[in-house]
Amino acid sequence: MKKTKYSYAKRIVNILNILKSNEDDASTFRKICVEIMKAYPFIDKASFWLVKDDGEHFITGVGYEDSHYSDMVIPLENSLSAIAPEEDVKIVDSGYFPEGFPEKVKQTIINTGITEDRSKTLQIRLKPFGDYFGVLCFDVFDYTDQFEGEIIDEMEYTTEAINAFLEIRITLNNKMSENLYRDHLVASISHDVRTPLTVIMGYIELMQSLMEDNPEILEFLNIMEDQSNYLLNIISDLITLSKINSGNYTINPQKTNIRELISNTMKGLKILAKKKQLKFTTHISSSVPAISYIDRTALKKILNNLIANAIKYTDRGQVSLECHLENKDYIKFVISDTGPGIAKEKLSSIFEKYSREQMTMSKPGTGLGLSICKELTEELNGSIWAQSILGKGSEFHLLLPVNPENTVDIEHSEKKTKSLSLKGKKILVIEDDIENLHVYELVLKNAGAICHSFTDPAEALKKYLISTNIDYILIDLILSKGSSLDFITEIRGKSPTKKIIAFTGSSDPELQQKAIDAGASIVLLKPFSLKELCESLEE
């Protein structure tokens, strides 16, 4: 029995670590070849061949110049590994070439040092999931009995380990590809839906200001606004879920006035409750710290989803929100309603994606709201659960860690909001979608602003250079002509304090970050209201 000098256990661990990496197949399997050759110094050369439909393709090797062999393909009918494909580890006569073997490939292999009747190759056939994936070849030019005995057993165990980890690697790579495709699809949908929604909601906002004296028309416009916001929330939920699932969701704790956040979140929800003639109450305990550090966006989305759900599924009675400090380190929210309730056996599944209770199927919704609440709560290191009595109502409990800072005087910490007037303000607008550009012009002019509109950033830059009295700049980040980022960089270099508002229909966080890095003051996601724009200009 031959004994190898290299620790078998160490070799397996090293190979598994190599397979864990994100490197491509060429780099990964070259390193595996090197690792195995350390254990068996009598091996002259090694190579890895990837099995495809048309044959075995040379991917990489040790002792081979990859560039010389990169186009080498051994047809499966001429492959030595295809002679006995049921064996995972086999010694073959590498100097033997079956009839019909491609002459060019044969000559290339012989040039490496392989000789007939003297050279042998130990092949490791890799078959994750039982499918033929590839072949690792270890060549000994002047063979005697180098591969006999214990080495074959070790190679068989090594093959099992590689196959097991290859299955994990392939599964993760497929999942990553699926995530990338899904993220791209969601980003595309976001852009393609938000762009026309910008036009629709812009006209709605404009008409609401013009029809204040016509209650009937105003009611129709309010309904249109509600439905547009509903569609926008669906897109927002899909984007949030996509970011969480792909690991791209970033928690950003900020100094937060919990009372103010709840008050702002409740404004629109109170209107919904009033429309359904529901009593809606909130109670915030004095134990809740004046200022806390928490992700405002995530908390607001969770509360909005939970309370909107309670209102949607409650046809009579009341909906309430209670908030208090629990165990000093946690803040607790309890949302209760007098709706239909949830069956006990269904409580464990309501936070699953697309889950809908049978008795609520008549209500509009995607079944994503509670799932997003759960995902966001876990991102915040909190917990969420539900209690319910069928026919009497439900309670949703949200427990989140909180970092209070009681020493801050809330009177001085919160900036007083003042209404910003756009009357007489000169605004440079760059947008290549003519319909969107027209809406911006109408809304801004209706607010008293003077607009200078362009579809080409180069033309807009010329205007800016000769009109030094431009107050604000609005620019779309995705233009068919010119670069928005170059434009922002140019303006920021010339006017370090100029307010530049970038906007986009894309949910891609990298694009938004690039805009901030280039010098944008803030990035707004389409569609945005005049109020949101004014608040952004004020910040």
Q: Is 389 a residue whose pLDDT tops 70?
A: yes
Is the bond into 196 cis (omega within 30 degrees of 0)?
no
Beta-carbon contacts of 463 under 8 Å, excluding residues fewer than 6 positions away, are 428, 452, 454, 470
In three state form, how does the secondary structure of 226-243 look? HHHHHHHHHHHHHHHHHH
Q: Is 417 a residue whose pLDDT tops 50?
A: no
Confidence of residue 414 (pLDDT cuts 50, 70, 90): very low
Give per-residue pLDDT as tens, 280-297. Answer: 999 999 888 878 888 888
- pLDDT over 90, % of the chain: 25
Tell me what pLDDT residue 357 has: 52
Confidence of residue 122 (pLDDT cuts 50, 70, 90): very high
Beta-carbon contacts of 338 under 8 Å, excluding residues fewer than 6 positions away, are 314, 316, 317, 318, 319, 392, 393
Q: Give mean pLDDT, residues 13-40.
A: 89
Q: Give mean pLDDT, residues 429-440.
A: 88
Query: Going along 2-54, which residue ranges are E strands?
Result: 45-52
Q: Give mean pLDDT, residues 126-155.
A: 89
Structural element, H or E, at residue 59: strand 55-62
Pairing of strands 55-62, 45-52: antiparallel
Tell me what pLDDT residue 397 has: 95
Q: How far apart are the first and last CA of the chain?
A: 78
Residue count of the chain, please give it.
539
Using DSSP's 3-state secondary structure scheme, residue 452 falls into: strand
Using DSSP's 3-state secondary structure scheme, residue 325 falls into: strand
Q: Is 84 a residue whose pLDDT tops 90?
A: no
Q: Which residue has the higher pLDDT, 2 or 420?
A: 420
User: Any idea which of 1-5, 20-24, 354-358, 507-511 has the lowest mean pLDDT?
Assistant: 1-5
Give per-residue pLDDT as tens, 478-516. Answer: 888 889 999 999 999 989 889 999 988 776 777 888 999
* Residue labelled with tokens 């359904």: 276
**Residue 121: alpha-carbon gap to chain centroid:** 46
Q: Which residue has the higher pLDDT, 268 or 360?
A: 268
In three state form, how does the secondary structure of 93-160 look? CCCCCCCCCCHHHHHHHHHCCCCCCCCEEEEEEECHHHCCCEEEEEEECCCCCCCCCHHHHHHHHHHH
Buried b (16+ CB within 10 A) or exposed e, 401-411: ebebeeeeeee
Q: Is 46 a residue whose pLDDT tops 90?
A: yes
Buried b (16+ CB within 10 A) or exposed e, 225-249: beeeeeebbbbbbbbbbbbbbbeeb
Q: Phi/psi at 439 (nearest 5 deg)?
A: -65, -45
Confidence of residue 184 (pLDDT cuts 50, 70, 90): low
Beta-carbon contacts of 267 under 8 Å, excluding residues fewer than 6 positions away, are none
Quick one: which of 298, 299, 319, 293 has its CA closest to 308?
Answer: 319
Question: Please, are residues 505 and 526 in contact by the beta-carbon 8 Å criterion?
Answer: yes
Q: Give mean pLDDT, residues 62-68.
A: 79
Task: Specify which of 9-18, 45-54, 59-68, 262-271 reaches the highest per-range mean pLDDT.
Answer: 45-54
Maximum separation of any 2 CA atoms in the chain, in Å: 100
Tell me what pLDDT residue 31 has: 93
With a threshold of 0.85, does the pTM exceed it? no
Angle at 213 between CA 207 and CA 217, to 5 degrees: 55
Cα-Cα-Cα-Cα dihedral of 519, 522, 527, 529, to 10°? -130
Give per-residue pLDDT as tens, 288-326. Answer: 887 888 888 889 889 988 998 899 889 999 999 999 988
Quick one: which of 480, 482, 421, 419 has its CA closest to 449?
Answer: 421
Q: Give mean pLDDT, residues 382-395.
A: 92
Tell me what pLDDT residue 62 has: 92
Question: Please, are residues 129 and 95 in contact by the beta-carbon 8 Å criterion?
Answer: no
Tell me what pLDDT residue 263 has: 86
Tell me what pLDDT residue 143 has: 92
Half-sphere exposure of 122 (CA within 13 A, CB side): 24
Supply the mean pLDDT for the chain. Answer: 83
Q: Is 403 a residue whose pLDDT tops 50?
A: yes
Confidence of residue 418 (pLDDT cuts 50, 70, 90): very low
**Dist CA 25 CA 20 (whole Å):** 12
Cα-Cα-Cα-Cα dihedral of 77, 79, 81, 86, to 10°? 0
Give per-residue pLDDT as tens, 201-255. Answer: 888 888 888 888 888 888 888 778 877 777 777 777 777 777 676 666 777 788 8
Question: Please, are residues 50 and 71 in contact by the beta-carbon 8 Å criterion?
Answer: no
Half-sphere exposure of 409 (CA within 13 A, CB side): 2
Q: What is the C-alpha R_g of the chain? A: 33
